[in-house]
Structure 1
Amino acid sequence: MRGPTMYGVVQLRRIGSEVGANVEQASASRVARLLGAWQADEASSATALRTALADLIEGAHLPSGQMMPTQRALAEALGIARGTVSRAYAGLVASGHLSARQGAGTFVRFGRRGTGDGHGRLASFDEGPATVAIDLSSGALPGGEVVARSMPEIGRLLHEHHLAGDGYHPAGLPELRAAIAATISQSGLPTHSDEVLITAGSQQAVKLIAAAFAGPGSLVVVEDPTYRGALEAFSGGGARLRGVPMSPTGIDPDQLAGAARNADLVYLQAALHNPTGVHTSGRRRSEIAAAMHDQRAMVVDDQSSADLSWTRSGRLPGLERDVDSERLLLVGTLSKLFWGGIRVGWIRGPKATIARLTDMRRGLDLSGSVLDQLAAVLVLPHAEAQQRARREWLASQFSAATTVIGSALPSWRWWLPAGGSGFWVDTGTDAVALAQRALARGVRMTAGPAFSPHEAHGTFLRLPVWHPDGQFAEAMEIVADLIRR
């Protein structure tokens, strides 16, 4: 079904439908991800699977006309018997949700045209079903104490400076824009307040960039693997995605140059890469800048994890000193350093581009939360101390996590991260099926295809370095038991 091109792009198989349209076949890993915790104790496996698939079809997550995965492929991805999938498909054919065509495959028949809101890559940020006892699907970190200490001061700032106004600041609070501009200037890229747009977290920042530069049919080049939220933002807007393979030393500049020809946008994470934890060296960053010099594409450097270095003080550098600032958009956030509950991110770019993105933002939510932005103003002066605290804690957590894996699952291998809240683990087996089997035992994990524009990296898991109360060790023992069976 799939084969690599020179850029690591995996081609989707397209099937001619009854009316001659080209139809993409849904990958088994994507369907498994969308299904989530589909099994139910009170129903047979086939009945539960049929019900869950019907919900996806009726919600247009599997749109009308799409070809379903083969029974064997879906069974392998879910870690169940092929007969279970066969019975579920048969029930969906009988109910009119699917149609089976001799020699052609099984297609979605009932449902709306188009696609749902996404590919299920961000499902780990849901609360999760009650059956999930241990959630290892996200690298989100607990909040720092400095956040709680800043809360009482917010009331005073509101009363003295903000309550008399209407509270609408589409580009962000002036004092916060100035503070972020100063931080970026210190990194080596002179920045003025009007070159900064404050957003409700980095995900909104990427979503705005996608809306502005990656509309239907446009070409976006990304690292493979990459941040799954970016994949949702770009694919949700109808863009075509082209992946360039990541390695433990970063993306290859020559491959990037070839892949970026005729691209509209190039999305990178040079400071600290999610999900692998790779930091791109200064020499490689210069080579990337040279590779992009004659390209027409806008370059996005998502620096959301740059504060989480394990080996050096301060923020890790990205492309801010290398790529022409007129063609560069920097994305940042306070969520990883301080707390995900502070929904503050930003975009740094050319003044005209920031004005355009601000206009688009007005149509999205008018303005960000003044309370969150005041919290950001109050915690920013503590960034250096918080970076130091995160650095020491995360490095020790990573050491403990790898010790657990080395004992419970000695055949597993991982990329050595320079920082971040998670690490990229090669299980040497079908990680999609393993994650599904683990979910049935109460452990939720995210498999590699969620981070790939082409559903690649099927043997990988992205695991967090931290989880409370020793649950990481318990989860790895459960996974080890599943593998032994």
Structure 2
Amino acid sequence: MRTDEDAERVVRLLGVWRGEASVSVPLRDALAELIDGSYLPAGWRMPGQRALAAALGVARGTVARAYAELMASGRLAAARGSGTYVRGAVGLVRPDEGRLTSFGGGQVVVDLSSGALPGSELVAEVMPEVGRQLRRHHLGGTGYHPAGLPELRAALAARVTAQGLPTRADQVLVTAGSQQAVWLIATALAGPGTVTLVEDPSYRGALEAFVGAGGRVRGVPCTPTGVNLNLLEAAVADADLLYVQTALHNPTGAHMPEPQRRALAGLAARHGTFVVDDQSQAELGWFRSDPLPGLERMADPERLLIVGTLSKLFWGGLRVGWVRGPREVVGRLAALRGGIDLGGPVADQLAALLLLPRADRQRVLRREFLAQQFAVTEEVLRTVLPHWRWSTPVGGSGLWTDTGQDAVALAQHALARGIRLTAGPAFSPHGGHRTFVRLPVWHPQSRLAAAAELLAGLGGTGSP
């Protein structure tokens, strides 16, 4: 990884760090919190002083002084000719103190960094029946189901079968949301010595999972209709795994048309590449009543993993996702998952089982809500930030927006004023898309307008 990418990662983690004292003092303290909290783990190579200074907009001497004091405290160590490395934590971060509290939202007025949607009333409606089902059928057992509640696995298998891919219950693993599903896949299949190809940009949670697994992650640029197939053809021969979002892409909101999906499936088959098709966003299409299709009817099912979730459709607090794949791979993932938490909450899975028959109704409600909110978001942006640019998504809860300026710097300044943004490099394995942000579209107009006015005051209007 290039040093400037390391610098951008540190900048994103730092958030608000400037204070009243000499600039090197709050920088030193903020870096110390990242090290003590293991956000910068032991053994990690720090960015060069020049690169970090440029990314932060400070003098190189400021970074040099902060590094020197962190070395003196035992948190950093210099290796001659190799660079500066994290040595390890010295103190523990105290709860509810310091810059890291902003990760939990304590200092943020408006959070524009996440596309997570408000919950559905349907979740609350099924809870009394969940209690009855628990008393009647489950409280007498242990409650441990590492692969998922058997009746939920069967229902999800029937759902995938109805979408065109014949599926048995033992080919489905229930997970704690799609994020855990992707993490399990990355940990099992994308370790050291492997190469994973991803779209660029891509879902940032997946990037974190694949990078964290220890293998190499390479990005293939996207077009308005999905990953660039010509560039993918050139890269896939050396890849062990291909992670894509063909149904509905996060963060761009694009859907890959059928001819391109067929071409992608054929390309993967020719090279024997294992494909992960993350369909977590598939239920959030704006222009059709059924889920957006992916690779389920096209790719070799023996070399395909499909990721799904109910958290996007019903509520993020309902931690139910799944993986559909070959029985042997699903078994491997289930064994890995069993070592983490012995299985998900039975109550959540019962709620999911009761909500599945209501998915069509909820999809209509989500579609109407998101279409209305997108119109509101466009109106605010065109009025307050007229030089920002975007393409109308096919669906999803976010808007991939080109600010026309350094969005990393904008996000830093915005966070200091209580607004959290996620800049484009967080969605890229190579630190690209520096002028982009991903904006959620679901916020009320008054809240979004107030945030946009503040961004405009920080220079968010860009250049005509």
Q: Is the structural similarity TM-score above 0.5?
A: yes
8 A contact 1:62–1:108 mirrored in 2:
no
What does the per-residue CA deviation read over 1:182-224, in whole Å, with 9 as the maximum and x for residues that have no partner? 1111111111111111111111111111122111121101001
| Aligned equivalents of 2:423, 2:274: Cα separation in 1 | 30
Q: Secondary structure at the match of 2:437?
A: strand
- What amino acid is the match of 1:430? D
| Aligned equivalents of 2:423, 2:114: Cα separation in 1 | 11
The structural deviation recorded for 1:98 is 4.9
Alignment of 1:25-104 (within 5 A): 27-40=6-19, 43-58=21-36, 59=38, 61=40, 63-64=42-43, 66-71=45-50, 73-78=51-56, 84-85=62-63, 87-92=65-70, 95=73, 97-98=75-76
| Aligned equivalents of 1:470, 1:429: Cα separation in 2 | 25
Change in CA separation of 1:76 and 1:410 when aligned onto 2, cut-off 3 Å? farther
Change in CA separation of 1:427 and 1:83 when aligned onto 2, cut-off 3 Å? farther
| Aligned equivalents of 2:391, 2:48: Cα separation in 1 | 31
- What amino acid is the match of 2:316? G
Change in CA separation of 1:176 and 1:97 when aligned onto 2, cut-off 3 Å? closer
Q: Does 1:220 align with 2:196?
A: yes
What does the per-residue CA deviation read over 1:74-122, in whole Å, with 9 as the maximum and x for residues that have no partner? 34534556665455345445545456799x796236437xxxxxxxxxx
State the superposition RMSD in angstroms. 2.4
- What amino acid is the match of 1:465? V
What does the per-residue CA deviation read over 1:29-87, in whole Å, with 9 as the maximum and x for residues that have no partner? 101112123345x655432111111233343615447242444x434534556665455
Q: Does 1:304 align with 2:272?
A: no
- What amino acid is the match of 2:122? V
Q: Secondary structure at the match of 1:135?
A: strand
8 A contact 2:79–2:85 mirrored in 1:
no
- What amino acid is the match of 1:232? E
TM-score, length-normalised on structure 1? 0.87
- 1:250 corresponds, among 221, 226, 234, to 226
Q: Does 1:231 align with 2:210?
A: no
Change in CA separation of 1:60 and 1:276 when aligned onto 2, cut-off 3 Å? closer
Query: What is residue 88 of structure 2 aligned with on the other side?
Result: 111
| Aligned equivalents of 2:183, 2:299: Cα separation in 1 | 22
TM-score, length-normalised on structure 2? 0.91
- What amino acid is the match of 2:33? D
Runs of 4+ with deviation above 6 angstroms: 99-102
- What amino acid is the match of 1:127? G
8 A contact 2:286–2:371 mirrored in 1:
yes
Q: Does 1:273 align with 2:249?
A: yes
Give ranges in structure 2 of 5+ residues lacking alignment.
90-99
| Aligned equivalents of 1:372, 1:109: Cα separation in 2 | 40
What does the per-residue CA deviation read over 1:444-467, in whole Å, with 9 as the maximum and x for residues that have no partner? 000011111111111110110112
- What amino acid is the match of 1:55? E
Change in CA separation of 1:82 and 1:433 when aligned onto 2, cut-off 3 Å? farther
Query: What is residue 119 of structure 1 aligned with on the other side?
Result: none
8 A contact 2:380–2:445 mirrored in 1:
no
Change in CA separation of 1:465 and 1:83 when aligned onto 2, cut-off 3 Å? farther
Query: What is residue 3 of structure 1 aligned with on the other side?
Result: none
| Aligned equivalents of 1:44, 1:157: Cα separation in 2 | 61
8 A contact 2:376–2:445 mirrored in 1:
no
| Aligned equivalents of 1:48, 1:241: Cα separation in 2 | 33
The structural deviation recorded for 1:297 is 2.1
- What amino acid is the match of 2:85? V
Query: What is residue 127 of structure 1 aligned with on the other side?
Result: 104
8 A contact 2:284–2:366 mirrored in 1:
yes
8 A contact 1:431–1:448 mirrored in 2:
yes
Percent sequence identity over matched residues? 58
Change in CA separation of 1:350 and 1:105 when aligned onto 2, cut-off 3 Å? closer
8 A contact 1:218–1:264 mirrored in 2:
yes
Query: What is residue 139 of structure 1 aligned with on the other side?
Result: 115
